[in-house]
Amino acid sequence: MSDYPETAIVVPCYNEAARLDADAFVQFAAEHPSVRFVFVDDGSTDTTRETLHALSDRLGPCGEVLSLDVNQGKAEAVRCGMLHAFDLDCSRVGYWDADLATPLTEIPRFVEILSTRSERFVVFGARVQLLGRRITRRRARHYLGRVFATAASMLLALPVYDTQCGAKLFRAEPRTRALFEAPFVVTWTFDVELIARLIAGERERGGGDVGELIYELPLDAWRDVEGSKVRPRDFLRALFELLRIRKRYLR
């Protein structure tokens, strides 16, 4: 086996001390030593930093902590973590919400898609309620989320179903690293901005349909975890952010 992890997963953490399920990470890492977790403490004001260092000690080579002194927001925390992760010489890098709304057991399914479909660069988790799956979302969040996702899909002129799921995996290539090089112009909707960057980049290099590069994977399990920091007013803010994305990338 190589000395390098094959997959790096960035976990943005802001005041997650109470929610973080350390045992779930330890158990997953014991079964999947080729995955390395990069936890980003985003200037938390609780004991997240200590919690993450204790967890990373338990994970050994499968875990590390990056610390941002001042809270920068999820988008910037993910971006810093991803740039670091791209430098680890992995074949795949991604990000995953700390509350494990998407369970870690989905990671191998994401890896499998990138391993078997060479034309795909990106895998997005998609929260689709189907028989035989365990997708539990609060009704209000679900419907607001569907309105947002539909608006995002229209803006991007791309039939993407779920831009906002917090579980995504990228093939580690200069083309995907480039998506994270500049700071995002939005905060809540940076996943949409990533797609807009991909579209703008493909247009520039005369590439094809971005829909051929992304694979949306319907999750087997997803649940709303208590303690979300997203508030109803953020929904309106997210819609305004879409306009900013259009102005910046899609005119």
Ligand X SMILES: Nc1nc2c(ncn2[C@@H]2O[C@H](COP(=O)(O)OP(=O)(O)O)[C@@H](O)[C@H]2O)c(=O)[nH]1
Residue 228 found at the interface with ligand X (CB under 6 A): yes
Residue 166 found at the interface with ligand X (CB under 6 A): yes
Stretch in the footprint of Mg ion (CB under 5 A) among 25-33, 72-80, 218-226, 238-246: 218-226
> Choosing among Mg ion, ligand X, none, which partner's interface includes residue 241 (Cβ < 5 to 8 Å by kind)?
none
Two structure tokens written together for 28 = 């997953």
Instruction: Annotate each residue in 5-34 with x if it binds ligand X (CB under 6 A) or - if it does not, as one string.
Output: -------xxx-x------------------
Whether the CB-CB separation of 210 and 197 falls below 8 Å is answered with no
Which of residues 6, 16, 41, 99 is near Mg ion by CB under 5 A?
Answer: 99
Residue 230 found at the interface with ligand X (CB under 6 A): yes
Which of residues 37, 39, 55, 74 is near ligand X by CB under 6 A?
Answer: 74
Nearest Cα to 185, choosing from 80, 75, 74?
75
15-50 burial, b for 16+ CB within 10 Å, e for fewer?
bbeebbbeeebeebbeebebbbbbbbbbbbeeebbe
Which of residues 117, 134, 229, 244 is near ligand X by CB under 6 A?
Answer: 229
Two structure tokens written together for 224 = 């709303």
Residue 172 found at the interface with ligand X (CB under 6 A): no
Residue 219 found at the interface with Mg ion (CB under 5 A): no
- 181's CB contacts (< 8 A; 6+ apart) are 83
How far is it, in rounded angstroms, from Cα 148 to Cα 160? 12
Residue 216 found at the interface with ligand X (CB under 6 A): no
Q: Nearest distance from residue 224's CB to ligand X, in Å?
A: 7
How far is it, in rounded angstroms, from Cα 29 to Cα 63? 9
Binding-site size, Mg ion (CB under 5 A):
4
Q: Which of residues 91-120 bind ligand X (CB under 6 A)?
A: 97-99, 101
Strands 35-42 and 122-126: unpaired
What stretches of 45-158 show up as alpha helix (H) in DSSP? Answer: 48-59, 74-86, 107-116, 139-156
| Contacting residues toward ligand X, per CB under 6 A | 12-14, 16, 42, 71, 73-74, 77, 97-99, 101, 166, 228-230
| Contacting residues toward Mg ion, per CB under 5 A | 99, 101, 225, 228
